[in-house]
């Protein structure tokens, strides 16, 4: 079975060595897997959330496109496109926005961090918060769901957004699927082995810290950057500690096992820091030299880059255009030339509905169970102090509705229910991921029967 993998690159800056080791190099290697159908896009709509400098975004789009191609991305093998060249994505964003609960977006980490910072500074909670920042997870969901990606490689700070995409997909499938699963439920992939490089000062390499090593600067610029790497005061001839040297960590990310072993021994034998930096320069220059030359050729030929991206967009739209047509049909945005059907009669509510049942443990603690209409136990609460707490919690769950439920997978065979960053209930255990996903959907469907 072919696995569809999707990766987006926000166009707000110039790629540096940390981007290359942490994202670009592993993604390009993964794209060569015969079992992978890879989608790579320049997330320029996302860039508008973070940057209001048109020239910076324009330049960044050019630099990032050239970087990926120079590093070996095969545009014929993968689907490589700009987000803004696929108009179906913003239209899908609106369709998904209309089924996404505000409560879900209220929990997004980026939004909560902005609110917390404003409150800490004594400002209005939403000061400076744009709708772009607030609804960012819906646009990301559209990026993923438009192409029904199975796997989405992300950093840990983005896991929540992939989980939100799953929630939104489930909601849309439930409302409009009529037995069909329009959207595949995506899975976040965390590459534990991918290098996180230290910068010149030892902190994580980041433009925010101004401690980066340029990816495709000249050899002279590369050497000058490496010369600024902070080291300790040990003199030539004195043993160095490789395990506490971020210069050695940088070397490790690009060296073979034998090169690492040799360099480690040289440091232990007292290699001077200046000579060690020269070794790192030679290693990186050898790794990046050919790609650097190709990058500078591509930068001077923007029309060729444009042709490649337009071809990629056309390839992406061959999937997106008909699929969006199906989604428009599903939600009722249909052509008048097709058969116009009268609305189906409203179904009477079943006499049986889902229900909460509270009880008291032998130790005096109170709990509740949540049952589906057919009597299946879906959730068991954590111990609570009194019956009023149960009533308050269950009323809040009902008022929030199924879209606001925060369900989290736990250890792969169970999920938990959270409210205000506190776990309040657990599911039974399940034998498979599919059974777990189906149970999470049943919880939402069951709660929906209690919402007026």
Report the binding-site residues: 10-12, 18-19, 143, 155-157, 197, 204-208
> Based on the number of CB atoms within 10 Å of its own CB, is 104 exposed (0-12), middle (13-18) or buried (19 or more)?
buried
Question: Quick check: 251 and 279 in contact, CB under 8 A?
Answer: yes
> What would the two tokens of residue 5 be?
């993998």
Please enumerate, by residue number, every residue annotated as part of a binding site for L-tryptophan.
143
Task: Collect all residues with Cβ–Cβ distance below 8 Å to 263 and sequence separation of at least 6.
Answer: 242, 248, 251, 255, 276, 279
Rounded to a whole number of angstroms, the distance between the first and last alpha carbons of the chain is: 43
C-alpha separations of 396 from 389, 400, 401, 404, 448 in Å: 11, 6, 9, 10, 13
CA angle centred on 446, ends 442 and 451, rounded to 5°: 145
Please enumerate, by residue number, every residue annotated as part of a binding site for ATP.
10-12, 18-19, 155-157, 197, 204-208
What single string gives the DSSP state of each residue in 105-155? HHT-HHHHHHHHHHHHTTS-TTTT--HHHHTHHHHHHHHHHHTT-SEEE--
Q: Which residues pair with 259 in a beta bridge?
A: none
- Which helix (H) or strand (E) segment holds residue 438: the answer is helix 433-448
Question: Quick check: 384 and 423 in contact, CB under 8 A?
Answer: no
Of the CA atoms within 13 Å of residue 160, those in its CB half-sphere come to 13
């Amino acid at each position: 079975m072919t696995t569809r993998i999707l990766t987006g690159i926000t166009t707000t800056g110039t790629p540096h060595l940390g981007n290359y080791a942490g994202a670009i190099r592993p993604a390009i290697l993964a794209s060569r897997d015969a079992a992978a159908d890879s989608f790579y896009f320049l997330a320029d709509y996302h860039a508008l959330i973070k940057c209001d400098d048109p020239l910076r975004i324009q330049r960044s789009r050019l630099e990032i496109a050239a970087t990926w191609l120079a590093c070996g991305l095969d545009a014929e093998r993968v689907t490589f496109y700009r987000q803004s060249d696929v108009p179906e994505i913003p239209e899908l964003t609106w369709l998904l926005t209309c089924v996404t609960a505000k409560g879900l977006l209220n929990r997004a980490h980026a939004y909560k961090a902005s609110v917390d910072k404003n409150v800490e500074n004594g400002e209005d909670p939403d000061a400076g918060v744009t709708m772009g920042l607030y609804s960012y997870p819906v646009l990301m969901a559209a990026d993923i769901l438009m192409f029904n990606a199975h796997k989405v490689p992300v950093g840990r700070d983005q896991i929540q957004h992939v989980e939100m995409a799953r929630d939104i997909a489930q909601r849309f499938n439930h409302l409009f699927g009529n037995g069909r699963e329009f959207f595949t439920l995506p899975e976040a992939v965390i590459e534990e082995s991918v290098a996180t490089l230290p910068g010149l000062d030892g902190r994580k390499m980041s433009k925010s810290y101004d401690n980066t090593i340029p990816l495709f600067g000249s050899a002279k610029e590369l050497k000058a950057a490496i010369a600024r790497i902070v080291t300790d005061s040990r003199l030539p001839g004195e043993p160095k500690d490789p395990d506490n040297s971020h210069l050695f960590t940088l070397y490790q990310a690009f060296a073979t096992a034998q090169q690492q072993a040799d360099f480690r021994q040289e440091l232990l034998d007292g290699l001077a820091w200046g000579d060690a930096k020269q070794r790192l320069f030679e290693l990186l220059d050898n790794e990046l030299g050919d790609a650097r030359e190709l990058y500078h050729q591509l930068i001077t030929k923007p029309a060729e880059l444009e042709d490649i991206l337009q071809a990629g967009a056309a390839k992406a739209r061959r999937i997106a255009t008909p699929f969006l047509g199906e989604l428009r049909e599903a939600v009722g945005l249909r052509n008048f030339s097709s058969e116009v059907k009268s609305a189906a009669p409203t179904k009477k509510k079943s006499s049986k509905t889902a229900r909460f049942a509270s009880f008291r443990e032998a130790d005096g603690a109170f709990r509740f169970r949540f049952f589906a209409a057919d009597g299946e136990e879906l959730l068991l609460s954590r111990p609570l102090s009194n019956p009023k707490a149960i009533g308050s919690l269950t009323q809040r769950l009902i008022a929030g509705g199924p879209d606001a439920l925060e369900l989290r997978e736990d250890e792969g065979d169970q999920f938990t229910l959270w409210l205000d960053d506190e776990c309040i209930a657990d599911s039974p255990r399940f034998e498979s991921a599919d059974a777990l996903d189906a149970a999470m959907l049943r919880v939402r469907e069951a709660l929906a029967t209690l919402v007026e």
